[in-house]
Structures are given as structure tokens and as C-alpha cells.
């Protein structure tokens, strides 16, 4: 490798180390060599190597395991197809499980809370609830091969879900909560999503086991039934380095021109 100006040394080295990761020189879930080894190989100081690795940590290419060193990220990018993911939920207990299993990874969901709560004001507004109306909340962390991949907190109007014992269980059954909502007469038929990018708060860093500077997708997903009533708000928090968000749509202007 030849290091040339004007690009900073540590940025060029980060690019080289990233290329080695992508090329398999440093395979997934393997430790990076000690800082001295690439420093000697590339003719730079350990401080420069450390700054390059800091960039790789910030981009999610590597992660630090306390007491064990720096390791290459072991999970591949997970594609999230906003249009098709919910149609596939019948193949498992939910869309998130199907996405992970499609990559031949082991899916696991850890529920943090299931119960009747007063929702945050933004959720209440999105659901069109009156003041004091309660919701059922299902808070969970999803894993692939025991690595956390997202936080997902779902809220449903209590007036709809009251009496549905399955939704009070961690395993809501085949097809997940949307299939149970359909059985209650409020199956989702339309969805909207608002996507923002931000850095995680302290709790999210711990739950997702990520660096404080690593951006996350903050996705507000709202589901509507056939009467156009909002029946669920799900707030997804997803590490940006793990996910590819895919959207597709029809050109409505073209359709209008052919009419």
C-alpha cells in the first residue's frame, strides 16, 4: 500500500483495513491484528493505526469486546424491504424473524415489556387517541445469531386489543401481532413510515451494543386498517451499519397519463 497526500494517513489506512475486511483477509468475527503489526507493515505509528481503527468502529465495521480486543463485525447487511416484508410474516412469527432467517441466521426476540400503558404523547397523536386512552405495548429487541439488530416498540389501541390473550404473550402465534389484529377485525391494509437518522441514546447503545457515535435509523411505522384507522405505531431503532432500507413504488403520474 502506498500512502499519498492529500488524504490523511489514518483515513487511507482505514480504507485499506476496510478493503481487507470486505475481501476476507480479516474474516467476519475474527480479531484484528495488534496495532503494531499493521503499523510495521505500513510504516506508520501505532497512533495512526489507532485513529484508523477508531473510524472503523464508528462505521460499524469492527467492534471492541472488552478484555478480548477488536473484532470484525460478524453479521452481514440485512435488507429491509418496506413493501414486501409484512407480506412474508406468515412464514414466521413476524417480519423481523423472516428477514433474519432468509439470510440463514438464527433469529431470537427478547421482550422487555408487554402490557397496558399510557403511551407517549407522539404515539397517542399518531393513533388518534383521546387524552387518557391507553395502549397495549410490546417492547422487544431482535437478534440475529445472538447479536442485537434492532429495538422495536409497538403500540396498539387498548380498545382494540383488550381481551386478546395472545397479544399479551411473547409468542403471539403464526403471523405475529398483525394476524391477531386481523382476527380482531382490524387487520392492517396500509402502512406509512417516517425515517430519520440520529445517534443512539445511552439506553439504545447498551441494548444494541454499539458505539455512541454510530448512527441509527429511527423509523416510525404506522399501520392502518380497512377503515383507515391507525391500529399500530411501531418505533424501530436500527444500527445503520447493519441494515439496507429498500423502497419501491409505482409512477402514479405515468398511470394518470395513460388514462
Residue 252 falls within a domain, yes or no?
A: no
Give the Cα separation of 255 and 259 in Å (integer): 7
Residues 163 and 148 occupy one common structural domain: yes
Query: pTM for this structure?
Result: 0.85
**Does the pLDDT value for residue 4 go beyond 70?**
no
Model confidence over 187-234: pLDDT tens digits?
Answer: 999 999 999 999 999 999 999 999 898 999 999 999 999 999 999 999
Q: How far is CA 170 from CA 103, 110, 114, 139, in A?
A: 23, 8, 8, 10
Please indicate, yes or no, whether residues 84 and 168 belong to a single structural domain of this protein: yes
In the predicted structure, residue 87 carries a pLDDT above the cut 70:
no
Mean pLDDT of the chain: 90
- On whether residue 38 sits in a domain, the answer given is yes
Phi, psi of 62 (to 5 degrees): -135, 165
CA 195 to chain centre: 12
Residue 119 and residue 160 share a domain: yes
8 Å CB contact between 223 and 232: yes
Is the pLDDT at 51 greater than 80? The verdict is: yes
pLDDT reported for residue 202 = 97
Same domain, 110 and 182: yes
User: Has residue 120 been placed in a domain?
Assistant: yes
pLDDT band at 256 (very low <50, low <70, confident <90, very high): low
* pLDDT of the residue at 15: 93
Q: In this structure, what CATH number is given to the domain that contains residue 22?
A: 1.10.10.10
155 and 96 in one domain? yes
Beta bridge partners of 110: 141
Range of the domain at 219: 78-246
Domain boundary among 22, 43, 72: 72
Same domain, 101 and 15: no
Quickly list H helices, the chain. 9-23, 36-42, 46-59, 95-102, 121-127, 158-161, 176-183, 202-208, 252-258
Does residue 92 share a domain with residue 65?
A: no
> Same structural domain for residues 170 and 196?
yes
Domain end point (choices 22, 51, 72): 72
Say if 206 falls within a structural domain. yes
Residue 117 sits in the same domain as residue 238: yes
Asked, as a colleague might, if the bond just before 6 is cis with ω within 30 of 0, I would say yes
Same domain, 29 and 119: no
CA gap 84, 164 in Å, rounded: 27
Model confidence at 47: pLDDT above 90 = yes
How far, in Å, CA of 123 to CA of 2, rounded?
53
Domain contains 251 = no
Residue from 149, 163, 177, 167 nearest 236 by CA: 149
Are 45 and 61 within one domain? Answer: yes
Give mean pLDDT, residues 109-133: 97
Same domain, yes or no: 68 and 19: yes
User: How many domains, in total, are found in the chain?
Assistant: 2
Amino acid at each position: 500500500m502506498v500512502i499519498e497526500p492529500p488524504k490523511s494517513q489514518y483515513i487511507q489506512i482505514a480504507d485499506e483495513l476496510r478493503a481487507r475486511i470486505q475481501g476476507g483477509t480479516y474474516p467476519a468475527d475474527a480479531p484484528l491484528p495488534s496495532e503494531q503489526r499493521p503499523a510495521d507493515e505500513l510504516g506508520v505509528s501505532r497512533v495512526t493505526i489507532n485513529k484508523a481503527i477508531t473510524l472503523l468502529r464508528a462505521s460499524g465495521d469492527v467492534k471492541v469486546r472488552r478484555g478480548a480486543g477488536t473484532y470484525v463485525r460478524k453479521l452481514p447487511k440485512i435488507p429491509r424491504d418496506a413493501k414486501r416484508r409484512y407480506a412474508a410474516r406468515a412464514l414466521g412469527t413476524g417480519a423481523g424473524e423472516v428477514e433474519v432467517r432468509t439470510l440463514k441466521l438464527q433469529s431470537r426476540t427478547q421482550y422487555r415489556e408487554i402490557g397496558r400503558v399510557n403511551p407517549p404523547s407522539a404515539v397517542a397523536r399518531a393513533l388518534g387517541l383521546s387524552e387518557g386512552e391507553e395502549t397495549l405495548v410490546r417492547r422487544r429487541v431482535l437478534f440475529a445469531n445472538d447479536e442485537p439488530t434492532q429495538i422495536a416498540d409497538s403500540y396498539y389501541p387498548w380498545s382494540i386489543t383488550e381481551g386478546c390473550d395472545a397479544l399479551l404473550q411473547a409468542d403471539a402465534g403464526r403471523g405475529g401481532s398483525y394476524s391477531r389484529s386481523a382476527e380482531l377485525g382490524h387487520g392492517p391494509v396500509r402502512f406509512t413510515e417516517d425515517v430519520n437518522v440520529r445517534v443512539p441514546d445511552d439506553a439504545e447503545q447498551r441494548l444494541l451494543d454499539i458505539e455512541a457515535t454510530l448512527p441509527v435509523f429511527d423509523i416510525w411505522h404506522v399501520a392502518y386498517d380497512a377503515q383507515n384507522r391507525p391500529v399500530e405505531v411501531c418505533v424501530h431503532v436500527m444500527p445503520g451499519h447493519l441494515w439496507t432500507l429498500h423502497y419501491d413504488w409505482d409512477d402514479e403520474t405515468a398511470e394518470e397519463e395513460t388514462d
